[in-house]
Every structure is written in structure tokens, then in C-alpha cells.
Amino acid sequence: MSHSDEGQTDPWAVPDAPVLTPLRKLVRASMSRERKLRLYVRMLETPVLSELYVRSRGRLRRRRIGPNTRLVLEAFPSSGNTFCRQAMLLTNPDIHPDDICSHTHSSRVVQRAVRAGIPCIVVARDPRDAVSSAVQRFKGMTASSATWYYERYYRRLLPLRGSIVVAPFSAVITDFVAVIEQCNQKYGTQFATGRRISTEEVFASIDERTRRKQHGRIPELTVSRPSSGRKPTAEFLASLDGAQREAMDRALAVYERFVVGAPPGS
């Protein structure tokens, strides 16, 4: 099995620390979805609490920044995180999956990468598409909390734009090798760029990964790629109330500031 398939290093196969399970159950039982997500985001931004949580949470433990981390790939959920990770592993089979920090969805991880001088790629997707997908994929998100999360995440990263590779979602999907080349140029790394993989090849890798995680099934509502199982963005946006539309406008303004000057594809 190739590194792109991750095999025995699948992060979801790593159990949580025993103390975390009852705490998570308590939070789920005592808080609304809105409050839970806001508490979770703020916890991830808090140095000591964030590190304790990541070390205790099985699926995150092998994806945190460590002594062997060669690359940090980060973004808001449903912004191409899995596509970016799988594409990197397919184009660079010498990289071990545990050497990539990804899927923490925490601005603090990006800040740590910058301080440590670790190459960091942050993917940015139009919030209308990212929030629409995230709310449908993750039970813990509402339109209001997800839009708040999106704006907060990228606003905190605006001062770091010059220290990271900003990768618009469309650039990641259509020409990931160009994103790697930008990373190599910025950090002096030598990640492989000789093999141009197709979008279909990455999607196939994601499906294989999903089948292992879901015991042979591919749940179309939650799979980490485009799916007919989720309603279109336009339909989701039509369901927003006035306050949610205003919040989306604020998120869109932050997105446009974040990707300005990024490579073509935005």
C-alpha cells in the first residue's frame, strides 16, 4: 500500500485518550451546536488547551506539528484539505503521511509553523462554497457558527500572508504541481513536481481512503470530494436569513483580502 493510502497510519484508527471520551460526552449533552463549535474553535486557539486536546484526540495526534514535520497543510473545513494532502502524497511518495501536519483547522497551527520555519500551505475556498459544504458534512456546524468560524480563521491569518503559501481552492484542484512549485520557491524545499496527477486520480485516492474508514462504504453526504449527495451552494445560500447573509458578506470580504495576489486560479 502506498503512502498516499496511509494504511496502518490512518489517523482515525488511533483511539482517543480515555479521559477525553467522557469529557466530550458531557460537552455534547450540555451545550448547543452553536456554543460547542465556538468553544472548540477558541480552545484550538489557546496554546496549552490546544496542545492537550490534540495529544488526547486520536485522529489529531499523528497530524500535529512534531519534530519530523516537513510540511503543514491547513484550511477551513471543506476547503480542499483532503485533496491537498492526498495530492501531495501522490506526487511525493517518499513523504510519510505522519510527516504532514493537516486537518487541525486551527489558525494557531499555522502561526506555529511560521514561527518554527516549517513550510506551510493554506488553502482558501470561497466561503459560500466552503460553508455550504461544511454545514452539510458536519453535524456540529450551523450556517451561523460555520460562517463565524470561517471569518475568524482567515482573519487571524491575514498578517501571515507573506510567510505562507496562499493556495486558492481552484488552483489546488486544477494545478496542484504549481502550488508545490510555489512552496519550493518560497522555502527552498525540493518537493517533487515532475508528476502531474489528474483530479480523477486524487478523487480515486480519496474514495479508497474513505472506504477503509467507512468499512467499504462511501457516504456521499460526507465524503471529502464533490458529491451529488449534497445540495448545491445556491440552494444553501437561499436558505440563509438576513443576519446570516450579512455574516457571509463579511466572510467573503476576508476571503478576498486573503487571496489577493495569490497565483491564478482564485
Among 6-10, 244-248, 251-255, where is mean pLDDT lowest? 6-10
pLDDT tens-digit readout, 38-95 = 888 898 888 888 888 777 877 677 677 888 999 999 999 999 999 999 999 999 999 9
Q: Break the chain into its structural domains and give their ranges.
A: 3-259
pLDDT tens-digit readout, 173-199 = 999 999 999 999 999 999 998 888 888
User: Does 263 score more than 70 pLDDT?
Assistant: no
How many residues does this entry show for the chain? Answer: 266
pLDDT recorded at residue 13: 59
DSSP, residue by residue, 190-251: ----S----HHHHHHHHHHHHHHHTTT---TTT-SS--TTS--HHHHHHT--HHHHHHHHHH
CATH of domain 3-259: 3.40.50
pLDDT band at 148 (very low <50, low <70, confident <90, very high): very high
